[in-house]
């Protein structure tokens, strides 16, 4: 770190320490939960993670705003400086950090059920950091499916991969690999497509499921005969055309 940057960081952290000295327990609790939430957090998102009553949460928020530690964001609130957030988060014990992540995940689930606008990737992230990776699997899959619906193939592949890393197994792992195979097919990436089919075949053999074996055989046959709708070179020329020649 450059000396000037280190000096600036020291100044910010010194200001954080000075601003936080007069805060009571309630604002500290709110700041701890907020340090693990994403920018644009609101009191509803933090409520279950602070164990504060509604009025206590509001008063704690007002104190943190007055102290200059938090500020309004485009939606909700954020830390005045990321160094402030990091300083608070790094001061948490591992046990408290995991508990707060689990509470934040539960809050997001509850808010999603109430509003119909769940945040599956954020829920999964909190569960993973809260030590509940296996509980994050269905949320990673939901995040991947949401990405697929808007043709965000790279994001969908990443979310499915995280579901596997979280411990998806048996039929769930087969379905995840099948989804990844479908995405690699759409991207005309035959190598990764074949790898997903191989993983599917291994799971099908382990489970001894004839239906799964049949799905693998169909996929392997499709891989052998598949021809993309646009050859790669022609597709590249088409995309570079102004305006693009694809409908």
User: Which contacts qualify for 124-128: CB closer than 8 Å, 24 or more apart?
Assistant: 124/162, 124/166, 126/36, 126/101, 126/102, 127/101, 127/102, 128/162, 128/166
- Give the pLDDT of residue 238: 53
Separation CA 85–CA 89 (nearest Å): 6
Neighbouring CB atoms inside 10 A of 63's CB total 19
Kindly give the interhelix angle for 3-20 and 82-90, rounded to the nearest 10 degrees.
70
Categorize the per-residue pLDDT at 10 as very low, low, confident or very high, splitting at 50, 70 and 90.
very low
Q: Is the pLDDT at 240 greater than 50, yes or no?
A: no
Q: Is the pLDDT at 43 greater than 80, yes or no?
A: yes
In this predicted structure, which of 3-12, 72-81, 82-91, 153-162 has the lowest mean pLDDT?
Answer: 3-12
Q: Is the pLDDT at 86 greater than 90, yes or no?
A: yes
Categorize the per-residue pLDDT at 4 as very low, low, confident or very high, splitting at 50, 70 and 90.
very low
Categorize the per-residue pLDDT at 232 as very low, low, confident or very high, splitting at 50, 70 and 90.
low
pLDDT digits (tens, 9 = 90+) for 167-205: 999 999 999 999 999 999 999 999 999 999 999 999 999
Separation CA 223–CA 117 (nearest Å): 37
pLDDT digits (tens, 9 = 90+) for 124-172: 999 999 999 999 999 999 999 999 999 999 999 999 999 999 999 999 9
**Please, is 77 exposed, middle or buried when counting C-beta atoms within 10 Å of its C-beta (0-12, 13-18, 19+)?**
buried
């Amino acid at each position: 770190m450059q000396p000037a940057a280190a000096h600036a960081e020291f100044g910010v952290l010194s200001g954080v320490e000075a601003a936080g000295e007069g805060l009571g327990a309630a604002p500290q609790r709110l700041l701890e939960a907020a340090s693990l939430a994403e920018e644009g957090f609101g009191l509803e998102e933090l409520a279950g993670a602070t164990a504060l009553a509604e009025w206590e949460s509001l008063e704690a928020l007002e104190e943190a705003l007055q102290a200059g530690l938090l500020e309004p964001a485009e939606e909700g609130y954020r830390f005045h400086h990321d160094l402030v957030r990091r300083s608070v988060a790094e001061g948490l014990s591992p046990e408290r950090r995991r508990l707060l992540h689990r509470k934040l995940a539960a809050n997001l689930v509850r808010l999603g059920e109430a509003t119909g606008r769940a945040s599956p990737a954020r829920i999964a992230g909190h569960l993973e950091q809260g030590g509940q990776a296996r509980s994050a699997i269905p949320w990673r899959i939901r995040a991947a499916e949401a990405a697929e619906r808007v043709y965000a193939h790279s994001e969908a592949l990443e979310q499915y991969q995280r579901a596997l890393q979280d411990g998806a197994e048996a039929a769930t792992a087969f379905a995840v690999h099948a989804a990844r195979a479908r995405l690699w097919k759409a991207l005309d990436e035959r190598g990764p497509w074949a790898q997903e089919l191989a993983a599917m075949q291994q799971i099908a053999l382990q489970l001894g499921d004839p239906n799964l074996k049949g799905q693998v055989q169909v996929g392997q046959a499709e891989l052998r005969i598949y021809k993309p709708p646009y050859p790669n070179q022609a597709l590249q020329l088409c995309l570079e055309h102004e305006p693009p020649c694809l409908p």
